[in-house]
Structure 1
Amino acid sequence: MKILELDFEAGWRGGERQTFLSMQQFRAAGHEVEILCRAGGKMAERAHAAGFVVHPCNNVLGVLAFLAIHGESYDILHPQTGHMLSWAVLSRPFHRRPVVYSRRVAFALKGWFTRYKYQRVDQVVAISQACADSVRALGVDDIEIIPSAVLPVLPDASRCKALADTLGIGGRRVVATTSALSEDKDPLLLVEAIASLRQRRNDFVFVHFGTGDMTDVVKTRIKELGLEQVFLLGGYQQQVEALFGLFDVFVMSSREEGLGSSVLDAFSARVPVASTDAGGLKELLADERGLLSAVGDARGLAAHIDTLLEGSPQVLAMAERAYEYVVRVHSVETMANSYLRLFERLLRRAPA
Structure 2
Amino acid sequence: MSEGASVRAFGAASITGARIVIVVPALGAGGTEHVVSLIANHWARAGHRVTLITLEAPGVRPYYDLDPDIAIVQLGVPPRRSSKLRSGLLVLRRLQRLRKAIRRSEPDLVLSFLTRMNVLTLLAAIGLTVPVVVSERNNPALQPFGPLWKWLQSLLYPRAFGLVTMTKGALDHFPANVRRRGWVIANAVDLPVGWQKKRGNNILAAVGRLTHQKGFDLLLEAFSRVSKTYPEWKLVIWGEGDERRKLEALRDTLGLRGRVEMPGVTPHPGLWIETADVFVLSSRYEGWGIVLLEAMAAGLPVVSFECEWGPGAMIRNSSDGILVPQGDVEALAKALAEVLGDRSLRERLAMSAEVSARRYSPERILSEWDALAFCALNRATATRLQDA
What TM-score, normalized by structure 2, do the two folds share? 0.80
| Partner Cα separation in structure 1 for residue 276 and residue 344 of structure 2 | 18
Counterpart amino acid of residue 334 in structure 1: R
| Partner Cα separation in structure 2 for residue 41 and residue 130 of structure 1 | 37
| Partner Cα separation in structure 2 for residue 172 and residue 69 of structure 1 | 49
Q: How many corresponding residue pairs? A: 341
Q: Match for 2:296 among 221, 244, 267?
A: 267
Indicate yes or no: 2:125 matched with 1:86: no
Indicate yes or no: 2:144 matched with 1:113: no
The equivalent residue for 2:256 is: 227
| Partner Cα separation in structure 1 for residue 96 and residue 61 of structure 2 | 18
Indicate yes or no: 2:74 matched with 1:56: yes
TM-superposed CA distance for 1:49, in Å, is 6.6
| Partner Cα separation in structure 1 for residue 292 and residue 331 of structure 2 | 18
Q: 1:42 to 1:149 in 2, by over 3 A?
A: farther
TM-superposed CA distance for 1:10, in Å, is 6.8
Q: Please give the per-residue CA displacement for 1:300-322, whole angstroms capped at 9, x wherever unaligned.
A: 11221222224454443332222
| Partner Cα separation in structure 2 for residue 310 and residue 76 of structure 1 | 52
Q: Match for 2:360 among 330, 336, 344?
A: 330
The equivalent residue for 2:132 is: 99
Counterpart amino acid of residue 323 in structure 1: E
Decide whether the 8 Å contact of 1:267 with 1:323 is kept in 2.
yes
Q: Which runs of 5+ in 1 are unaligned?
A: 162-170
The equivalent residue for 1:29 is: 46
Q: 1:306 to 1:155 in 2, by over 3 A?
A: farther
The equivalent residue for 1:18 is: 35
CA RMSD of superposed structures (Å) = 2.6
Q: 1:265 to 1:69 in 2, by over 3 A?
A: closer
What TM-score, normalized by structure 1, do the two folds share? 0.88
| Partner Cα separation in structure 2 for residue 210 and residue 45 of structure 1 | 16
Decide whether the 8 Å contact of 1:118 with 1:140 is kept in 2.
no
| Partner Cα separation in structure 2 for residue 195 and residue 202 of structure 1 | 11
Q: Match for 1:307 among 338, 348, 356?
A: 338
TM-superposed CA distance for 1:122, in Å, is 0.8
Counterpart amino acid of residue 366 in structure 2: A
Q: Please give the per-residue CA displacement for 1:57-113, whole angstroms capped at 9, x wherever unaligned.
A: 023424534435643711110001222211221122332211111211013177332
Which 4+ residue blocks in structure 1 deviate beyond 3 angstroms? 41-50, 62-66, 68-72, 136-142, 152-158, 310-315
Matches within 5 A, 1:62-211: 62-68=94-100, 70-71=102-103, 73-108=106-141, 111-136=150-175, 140-153=179-192, 156-157=195-196, 160=198, 172-211=201-240
| Partner Cα separation in structure 2 for residue 154 and residue 348 of structure 1 | 35
The equivalent residue for 2:327 is: 296
| Partner Cα separation in structure 2 for residue 340 and residue 224 of structure 1 | 50
Decide whether the 8 Å contact of 2:191 with 2:270 is kept in 1.
no
